[in-house]
Structure 1
Amino acid sequence: MKLKHILAIIPAILIASCQKDFLEPESLSTFDDNYIYSNVDDARAGVNAVYSQFNEDAFTSRLSSNLTGNTDIETQSGWGNAGDRYQIWDLQASEGNADLDKLWTAAYKAIRDANIAIKGLTNSGNLENTDVSVKNTFNHLLGEAYTIRAYWYSMLIYYFGDVPYSIEAPVAGAEFSLPKTDRNTILANEIQNLINVEENMQWADQLPYGIEQVNREYTLGMIARLSLQRGGYYLTPELNMVRKGDYLDYYTIAKTYSHKLIQLKDRELPTDFRQIFLNQVKFTSPVNEDILFEIPFSINDGDVAWNIGIEVNFDNATHNYGQCSNYMEMPHTYYMSFDSSDIRRDVTCGLFRYDNTLTKHFIDGSGISQAKWDRTKLTTPPGKASTKDTGINWPMMRYADVLLMYAEAENELNGPTIDAKEALKKSSSKSL
């Protein structure tokens, strides 16, 4: 009994004298935000989480390509089919549309992760670190987080209009059921955030992953793109097309920041238009060329050249390249809208398909595919039964886009000036 009594006292003494050491140990397998954002390597890993939703189905198969149907150039978009994506293309999405639910969920997960990263980076003290390399890296990481968050809000607004606006990292006890915020307020705030961070970001040729990570070029382009979205017309819940009275302010911002990129980091567009997209199929991502930023899919991820690209038949195939379907056909009228000497026409419009022996069969005017991506050009064939997960990156913005945005903004503000015409000419003479 005495021994038991003594043993019973010892834990009480230990608890009283060493309560912090024994009951609140620091786990070696988990780190809080203070630790994660105390050093460059872990901060990089923290910001990588913000990219993770780009590798989920909501983006790889939906937002990047499948949700973009029903524009001016598809000959069929599945009218009459009750599938989720067809509902969206037909502008008749039901309340239970699973594709829109995927988009909504992925967007707010990415926004949550961005908010966590922004808080960690901002509170770290490393944005003013005396070590220039650490300071520059942390400021760039902050720009990455803000830019990706702005992208997702832009997409939410595009598909849903006014949405809940969350800019705080989640904490226990916080209110998560937020009301809608006016779309124009969200866009104005996100534009200003990017303006605040872009000068402290690094160019693609200064970064370890080049155009496969958010860079200053892309952020400048996003400022212009978001500004045109903010200054443009939009559909109200009452089905009226309107735009805010201050729209010219945002055309001015679009012009200023697209022109800033042109001044600071101009480049010639490639003379070989096909090579721009062949680089992606060959897993080559050159900096200081046309593509400013592309989503870096792993070898076993991404749907490019599966649901968009030259059609490839893999039924009883004798080849090892797998399948590519043609989800959104283009009409022959779109093909005929190109000048016959336009080098972009035959890269954009696929007039043939591959059968199961890789023999080309030319189409008869219907079934034109998006020819920019051809899985038969992959250096290593992915296998007879392969479908998705080609690893081919998805382009998010091109320099040609920036030139067009500058031309649009300049034309809106000052009419068809020489500058607007020259930017349009440069964007379309070699590449668009």
Structure 2
Amino acid sequence: MKRNIYIVIAGLLLGTTSCKDFLELPSEKDFDSSTIFEDVGKVEMAVLGAYTSTFNAELFYQFGMGTDECFSTEGETNSKNQVSNYVYNPATSPTSTYTAMYAGVEQANVLIRNIPLITNIDEAQEEKRNMLLGEAYAIRAANMLHVVRYFGDVPYPTIPVVEMPDFSSSRVSRDTIFDGCIRDLQQAIELLPWKSESGMPVERISKNTAYGLLARTALYAAGYSLRWNLDSYAPGSVELAQRADKQRIAELYTIARDACKAVVERGENDLIDYETIFRDLVNGKYNVESMFEYGQKGADRNEVRLGYTNGIFAHTASFYGKSQPAMAALPVYYFEFEEGDSRRDVTIANYALAGDSTHQMNTYANHTIGKFRVNWKADAGVSAAQRDINWIHLRYADILLMYAEAENELNNGPTAVAKEMYEKVRLRAFKNDRSKIGETPGTYADFRNAIIQERKLELGFEGWRKTDLIRWGILYEKLTETKQEILDLANHTGKYTDAARYRAYKITDAKTFNDPTVALDFIPFTDEPTPAERTELERQGYTVLDMYGSTAAFFNNKFTANEVWVRNIYRGLEKNKVELFPLSTSTIDNNPGLRGQQHPLY
């Protein structure tokens, strides 16, 4: 790593209507550590630059698949498909997140080391200095959480590289790392202002956000993860387990509960209409539900291609230009949503944007991710692959569900507060119709299962499902169950015997930005319409679609149990092995301290 801390800013927008243009990156050579800590203004440039290492495409792309929501639409020899289906080894293990997160940690370490040295400043500058230091602590913690949840015990640098005795670092127990991250976030909370007091854009961490990150980190620290003996690295020592200290686990759930409670009681954040969350997101508008976003302004950050690889399909010749998803909704995910749940048609797009600029219905095999769709934007963006769409790291619904989960864990069953938080999310989904949300479970196990399901429905495709399943200790079981459900739907058996084999729908125009279309209406048919029925439907302007067939604008594969793409889903899944990635060969080769410290089952 270089001694210079490469960072920077060209413009800062603190308004509440847009969260797009708050930072631009000039040359990395504009500032270095010899001049950057001369005043608070330059330090702010460094802090803003550190945010650019808090996210990358791998976090939503490779790591966002292989869940009970999402699969890869690429070929079986493609590396993204292999990661999605747990087919990897040290030679092919992903490296981008590991590298990017540690770059951000190094930037944060330089900031944390030097910011307190800024003295002889007035009260206003001191408040600004403290806020910037709080952001640096929070960035370090957030980045380390990303590394630990995918790679487990890893190096844990807390001082700048130039102050290290050598450039070799070994694995550190994840419990030590988690506890360090929690201390960082607690320190950040002390230093940071509330969102309403700072005027900061949603791309920066406020006290509200730091509380949410603290709750999230504490839940991961209390949960299950793949562990092994760090002295022997014996394959037989590998197990999926929580930390051994039960008292500390209880403390962690208390930390999570209290952090969420602080945000709720503050009252600055709230739930809004579910569809509006994502229409605002793709158009760079701020709302009180979105608490922390990764900004996409600037060519280097736009390279993550949000809305392109993880959006809906749009033909190159369409009004919106090309959008080419490489990931899609599992066919059975659509059926997880209860009737009347407004989240289903926002989360899952049941249509594609065809070359003639029309909405055409998707089959079960090619339902795509609906939260980041290009036709909901007010403009075309920078280019087809660079749409200036932010990524949501944290929103208020997550706070409510984490609050409910922690309460349940602490009290061996749902308290009144736990039920209230859970029901707030449920009620929003059903447009505040209490008659549709059902009875809230009253036992520990039933409520825990309800939280597991609700997070799946509420936070679909937002990057947390895989590691949520791991921290609950159920990745293998849940994916095994899901694979059987996929086969049942493909065979039209089990609970899917009444699933529509055909849908009749009307093709509509897709020739405007801010497209109001959420989902195409359809008439379901359990069996193929008769020739007479088909003729009448076509006379009325309907198109009849075989939901199991290969007629599709995108991923035009049949949906049958013996199709290669169906057989290959989760093909490399192994319990107590794939819950963590092995370190890549290059990562170990570049760090002598990691020699002999590979994941024992690789």
Question: How is 1:250-399 mapped onto 2 (pairs within 5 angstroms)?
Answer: 250-270=252-272, 272-286=273-287, 289-298=288-297, 300=299, 301=302, 302-314=304-316, 317-319=317-319, 321-382=320-381, 386-399=383-396
Aligned residues: 387
Which of 107, 115, 136 is the aligned partner of 1:145? 136
Query: For residues 188 and 203 of structure 2, what CA distance do their matches in structure 1 show?
Result: 19
Paired residue secondary structure (1:430):
helix
Paired residue secondary structure (2:389):
coil
Query: For residues 160 and 265 of structure 2, what CA distance do their matches in structure 1 show?
Result: 36
1:214 maps to what in 2?
205
After TM superposition, the structure 1 stretch with the greater mean CA deviation from structure 2, 220-229 or 136-145, is 136-145
- 2:72 paired with 1:77: yes
Question: For each residue in 1:72-102, what CA deviation from the matched residue of structure 2 results, as whole angstroms up to 9, or x when unmatched?
Answer: 123x43697233322322223221226x222
List runs of 5+ in structure 2 lacking aligned partners: 1-28, 229-236, 430-457, 459-602
- Residues 380 and 159 (structure 1), Cα distance of their counterparts in 2 relative to 1, 3 Å cut: same
Deviation (angstroms), 1:172: 6.4
Query: For residues 326 and 77 of structure 1, what CA distance do their matches in structure 2 show?
Result: 9
Contact 1:146 1:194 in 2 (8 A): yes
Give the residue type in structure 1 aligned to 2:279: L
RMSD, aligned α-carbons: 2.2
Paired residue secondary structure (2:328):
coil
Which of 58, 62, 66 is the aligned partner of 2:62? 66
Deviation (angstroms), 1:35: 4.3
Question: For each residue in 1:397-430, what CA deviation from the matched residue of structure 2 results, as whole angstroms up to 9, or x when unmatched?
Answer: 0000011001000001111111100001112321
After TM superposition, the structure 1 stretch with the greater mean CA deviation from structure 2, 388-397 or 61-70, is 61-70
1:418 maps to what in 2?
416
Paired residue secondary structure (1:120):
helix
Contact 1:64 1:394 in 2 (8 A): no
Contact 1:34 1:124 in 2 (8 A): no
2:583 maps to what in 1?
none
Deviation (angstroms), 1:266: 4.7
Question: For each residue in 1:103-125, what CA deviation from the matched residue of structure 2 results, as whole angstroms up to 9, or x when unmatched?
Answer: 22111111111101111112223
Query: For residues 429 and 326 of structure 1, what CA distance do their matches in structure 2 show?
Result: 31
Query: For residues 74 and 386 of structure 2, what CA distance do their matches in structure 1 show?
Result: 28
- Residues 382 and 195 (structure 1), Cα distance of their counterparts in 2 relative to 1, 3 Å cut: closer
Which of 96, 106, 109 is the aligned partner of 1:102? 96
Deviation (angstroms), 1:208: 4.5
Contact 1:67 1:85 in 2 (8 A): no
Deviation (angstroms), 1:213: 1.1
Give the residue type in structure 2 aligned to 1:112: E
Paired residue secondary structure (1:252):
helix
Deviation (angstroms), 1:391: 0.9
Deviation (angstroms), 1:258: 1.0
Larger Rg: 1
Paired residue secondary structure (1:347):
helix
Question: For each residue in 1:252-289, what CA deviation from the matched residue of structure 2 results, as whole angstroms up to 9, or x when unmatched?
Answer: 1111111111112353311x211111112212123xx1
Contact 1:326 1:367 in 2 (8 A): no
Deviation (angstroms), 1:200: 2.1
Paired residue secondary structure (1:329):
strand
- Residues 422 and 48 (structure 1), Cα distance of their counterparts in 2 relative to 1, 3 Å cut: same
Which of 389, 393, 402 is the aligned partner of 1:405? 402
List runs of 5+ in structure 1 lacking aligned partners: 1-28
After TM superposition, the structure 1 stretch with the greater mean CA deviation from structure 2, 194-203 or 106-115, is 194-203
Contact 1:308 1:327 in 2 (8 A): yes
Query: For residues 351 and 66 of structure 1, what CA distance do their matches in structure 2 show?
Result: 23
- Larger RCO (CA under 8 A, 6+ residues apart): 2
Contact 2:345 2:370 in 1 (8 A): yes
- What is the aligned-residue identity percentage? 29
Contact 2:138 2:188 in 1 (8 A): no
